[in-house]
Amino acid sequence: MSKRYVSLWFRHLVADWQLIRRPELAGVPYVFVVPDHGRKLITAISPMAEAAGIHAGMRAADAKAICHGLEIFDEKPGKAEKLLLGIGEWCIRFTPIVAVDPPDGLILEISGCTHLWGGERPYLKDILTKLKDKGYTVRGAMADTIGAAWGIARFGQITPIIPAGEHIRALLPLPPAALRLDELTQQKMRKLGFRTVNSFVKMKRSVLRRHINDHLLLRIDQATGQEKEFIIPLQVPPEYEERLPCLEPVITAEAIKIAIEKLLEALCKTLQKDGKGLRSATLKGYRIDGHIEEQKIGTNRPSHSVSHLFKLLEMKVPFITPALGIEVFTLAATSVEDIFTRQDVLWAAKPGLDDLEVAELLDRLAGKVGAHTIRRYLPDAHYWPERSLKPARSIQEKPAMDWNTDQPRPTRLLPEPEKIEVMAPVPDLPPKMFVYAGQRHEITKADGPERIEREWWMDEGEHRDYYCIEDKQGRRYWVFRSGHYDSESPLWYLHGFFA
């Protein structure tokens, strides 16, 4: 697929921003200035000030002399860059690849996007109309190369959409400045009498290099497509992403669900084709007021099942606030893994975590109660109870060793042992009573001790003597004494609960 680009030019970027903030300036000429060696130089002008003959680089005092009622504002450093960055992020709703083109433009790579808007003309019209509605003076052009789109946007006089393959012909009547030349190069060309691109583009390259410079040759090659040009997008687009522009702003939950289903059908089709499954995804809804609604989902196993993923996203719909309406939806698979074609006969014989339906059930539960509330642990190579298990990174992760089943372990292990008061009159025997959380527990049954030595290569301290005990109410606990029973006040701790 050949590349297509859109160049946007904001001729009065900072001035438009000022007018949006202060509508009372409508009908008033104004400029922005910066101090320069005791004087003030104009850096940005409003359309009315421009019509009065004021231009960037002029001294503010001279401008006041020729324009009555001129308002002067101090320029805020970096304001133009911030505005371009904000507008560029807003434009991501039209294409995932948007780059800032300082000092007053944006570049959009739109390959494969325009058909979602019904073609290139309604696509460009939609962008320009929305930006103008926001209050910006903007021109845009579409072409096969960045250089051609840039030149047409600023110097084109006929049509802003150059058909594929016709960008070179569209550049010929434009002035040399349309090739993004620096001021020194433009001065040389004016001295040599070059008024249009057509007047020099067919000359020998050696002649142009000798009389002008290599910069001109580079710009010619970039504009004509002989030299590849790359842009740095504001956000790295995900490999798997689907977009859905809406004919009318969406405000109902039912319409949002329809949009999600359409996005999933397209996304899962691509994933199935590539043998991939989704592990995490982000749904974004671009509202007409500029706000972006964002919801995320995750799965325990890679999945490209539309029905399963729809159930996960459906639970997020109540958390989406469409306000005045969502005009564009995007669904990106932010993490994918290889997935193999399901073999029903084989899967049917595998219970437990290898069962696809179990994994999908866990995904739905995680969507309701939160993924952080569902945990899975694997055995770890340690004696010390707190270190003898570790959280599993995924549902497919296999244990590197077997669980230690020689001694009983509680079903719930406290992350940190909690100190208890114990009465144990005879050394090396289990306690007869203990107090935990203000409640007294009389011990009726006990087993132990099990001595667990401290892992001396990791830290220092006393060993532990663990007892399994049961109180009068039938509740069972895992307690231990720290160190030997030779001290006056031995320390006892509660470390777990049995089922």
CA distance 81 to 74: 16
Q: With 70 as the cut, is the pLDDT of residue 13 above it?
A: yes
Dihedral sign for Cα atoms in the order 354, 355, 360, 363: negative
For residue 72, the surrounding DSSP H or E stretch is: strand 71-74
pLDDT of 438 over the 70 cut = yes
pLDDT in the model for residue 347: 47
- pLDDT for the residue 375: 79
Please state which of the ranges 144-148, 164-168, 338-342, 378-382 shows the lowest mean pLDDT: 338-342
- Give the tens place of pLDDT for each residue, 279-336: 899 999 999 888 899 999 988 888 888 988 998 999 999 999 998 899 899 999 999 9
What's the mean pLDDT in 228-236? 89
Characterize the bridge pairing of strands 71-74 and 30-36.
Answer: parallel
Contact 9, 139 (CB under 8 A): yes
State the burial class of residue 321 (Cβ atoms within 10 Å of its Cβ: 0-12, 13-18, 19+): exposed
The CA dihedral of 318, 321, 327, 333, to the nearest 10 degrees, is -60
| 168 has pLDDT over 80 | yes
User: What value does the mean pLDDT take over residues 130-134?
Assistant: 93
Burial of residue 144 (CB within 10 Å: 0-12, 13-18, 19+) is buried
Tokens representing residue 491 in the block: 């320390």
Least confident piece of the model among 203-217, 295-309, 350-364: 350-364
Nearest Cα neighbor of 152 from 8, 12, 13 is 8
Could you read off the pLDDT of 233-252 as tens digits, one per residue?
Answer: 998 888 899 999 888 889 99
Distance between CA atoms of residues 276 and 336, nearest Å? 6
SS (H, E, C) 212-264: CCHHHHHHHHHHHCCCCCCCCCCCCCCCEEEEEEEEEEECCHHHHHHHHHHHH
Smallest CA-to-CA distance from 322 within 236, 252, 237 is with 252
What is the DSSP secondary-structure string of 449-493? EEEE---TTT-----EEEEEEEETTS-EEEEEEES-TTSSS-EEE
Encoding tokens for residue 138?
A: 């903007």
The predicted model scores a pTM of 0.66
What would the pLDDT profile of 76-108 be if each residue is shown by its tens digit? 889 999 999 999 999 999 999 999 999 999 999
What letter does residue 268 receive in the DSSP assignment?
H
Amino acid in the structure at residue 41: L
Helix (H) or strand (E) segment spanning residue 106: strand 105-109
The answer on pLDDT for 344 being more than 50 is: no
